[in-house]
C-alpha cells in the first residue's frame, strides 16, 4: 500500500489509522468535514494532505483531488456514532447513503480497495430486530444504519470491481477518546472515587485498544480479501463482568464493583459473534496490548488532559 484516502481522518479511529499509515510510509489524502474541524491530532503527520469535503458532498471529492493510483479508500466518517444522534433515523439512513456515495466516489478515483468501519452493533441490531417479540431500544437505529450501509455497498462494490472489506469494530477505547463510552466513563468514575455500579454484566463483550485497532486497519488495507468481514477485537471475548474486574484490579484494587444494580436491556451476543479468526488468518493481525495495560494507558491520558 502506497497511497490511501481516509475520510473522518481527524476522528478517534481515523486519526490513529492515519498515524499508523504514516509510520509505514503511506501517502494519505485526509478528508475532513470543513475548516472548523480540529485537526491537531493529524496536522503534523508526514505525507498527509488535508482536503475539506462534507459527507453530503462526498461525490465532489473527484473534482477536489482527481483520479489517481490510490490503493485503499478508508471510510470512517459517520455522523452520530455516539450520543443522541444514534437514535436519529434520518441521520443514520443518510449515513448509509453517504457510505454508498463514498464507495462510488472511490471507484471514480481509481481506488482498488474500500475498507469500511463497521460495528459489532450491526450483529446486535440484527439479533435485536429480528428476534420474535423483542423490544429493541432507539440506539439500535445506529446499528440499523450500519446494516443498511453494508447491504447497499456490497453489490455496488462488486459492480465496480472494487475489493470491499467490512471491518467490524467490537469496542475501541484508549488515549485520545473523549466520548462517554463504557471504558472512559468507568475510568473517570474510578478517578473521581465514585461508586462502581453495573448491570449483572453477564453479557458477552470484547474491547481492543486504539493502537491495536489502527494496526488492524493497516493490516486489512494490505492483506484484506474482497467481500470479507473482519472482526477487530482482542480475540478473547468474555462476559463483561470479567473485563470490569480486570480493569478494577489494574486501576483501583481497593474499589468494590457492585453488579446487578442497573437493569440490562440489550442483547447478549454469542461468543462466536466476536470471532477474530478471519483477520488473523487473512491479514496476520494479532493484538499486542492487554485490557489491563490498555486501561492503564487510558487512565494516564485522561489524567493528563483533565
Per residue in 77-89, pLDDT (tens digit) is: 999 998 899 999 9
| Mean pLDDT (whole number) for 187-201 | 95
Angle between helices 182-192 and 291-305 (to 10 degrees): 60
At 234-261, the pLDDT tens digits run 999 999 999 999 999 999 999 999 999 8
Distances (CA, A) of 176 to 49, 137, 210, 297: 21, 29, 9, 11
Residue 41 contacts residue 22 (beta carbons within 8 Å)? no
Q: Which of 232, 235, 230, 239 is nearest to 269 (CA)?
A: 239
What's the mean pLDDT when you consider all of the chain? 96
What is the mean predicted confidence (pLDDT) over 89-96?
Answer: 98
Which residues, other chains included, contact 236 with Cβ-Cβ below 8 Å and sequence gap of 6+? 206
CATH code for 3-169?
3.40.50.720
pLDDT for position 180:
86
This prediction has a pTM of 0.97
Amino acid at each position: 500500500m502506497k497511497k490511501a484516502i481516509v475520510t473522518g481522518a481527524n476522528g478517534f479511529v481515523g486519526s490513529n489509522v492515519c498515524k499508523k499509515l504514516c509510520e509505514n510510509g503511506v501517502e494519505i489524502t485526509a478528508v475532513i468535514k470543513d475548516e472548523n474541524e480540529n485537526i491537531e491530532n493529524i496536522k503534523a503527520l508526514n505525507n498527509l494532505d488535508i482536503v475539506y469535503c462534507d459527507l453530503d458532498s462526498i461525490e465532489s471529492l473527484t473534482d477536489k483531488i482527481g483520479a489517481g493510483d490510490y490503493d485503499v479508500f478508508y471510510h470512517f466518517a459517520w455522523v452520530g456514532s455516539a450520543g443522541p444522534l444514534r437514535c436519529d433515523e434520518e441521520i443514520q439512513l443518510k449515513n448509509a447513503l453517504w457510505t454508498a456515495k463514498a464507495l462510488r466516489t472511490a471507484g471514480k478515483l481509481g481506488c482498488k480497495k474500500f475498507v469500511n468501519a463497521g460495528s459489532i452493533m450491526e450483529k446486535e441490531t440484527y439479533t435485536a430486530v429480528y428476534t420474535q417479540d423483542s423490544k429493541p431500544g432507539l440506539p439500535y437505529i445506529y446499528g440499523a444504519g450500519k446494516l443498511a450501509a453494508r447491504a447497499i455497498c456490497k453489490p455496488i462494490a462488486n459492480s465496480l470491481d472494487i475489493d470491499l472489506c467490512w471491518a467490524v469494530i467490537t469496542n475501541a477505547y484508549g488515549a485520545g477518546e473523549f466520548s462517554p463510552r463504557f471504558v472512559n466513563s468507568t475510568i473517570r468514575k474510578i478517578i473521581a472515587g465514585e461508586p462502581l455500579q453495573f448491570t449483572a454484566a453477564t453479557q458477552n463483550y470484547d474491547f481492543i485498544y486504539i493502537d491495536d485497532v489502527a494496526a488492524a486497519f493497516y493490516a486489512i488495507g494490505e492483506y484484506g480479501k474482497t467481500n470479507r468481514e473482519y472482526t477487530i477485537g482482542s480475540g478473547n471475548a468474555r462476559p463483561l463482568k470479567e473485563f470490569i474486574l480486570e480493569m478494577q484490579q489494574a486501576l483501583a484494587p481497593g474499589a468494590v464493583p457492585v453488579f446487578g444494580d442497573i437493569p440490562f436491556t440489550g442483547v447478549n451476543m454469542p461468543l462466536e459473534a466476536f470471532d477474530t479468526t478471519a483477520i488473523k488468518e487473512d491479514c496476520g493481525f494479532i493484538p499486542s496490548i492487554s485490557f489491563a495495560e490498555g486501561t492503564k494507558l487510558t487512565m494516564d491520558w485522561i489524567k493528563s488532559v483533565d
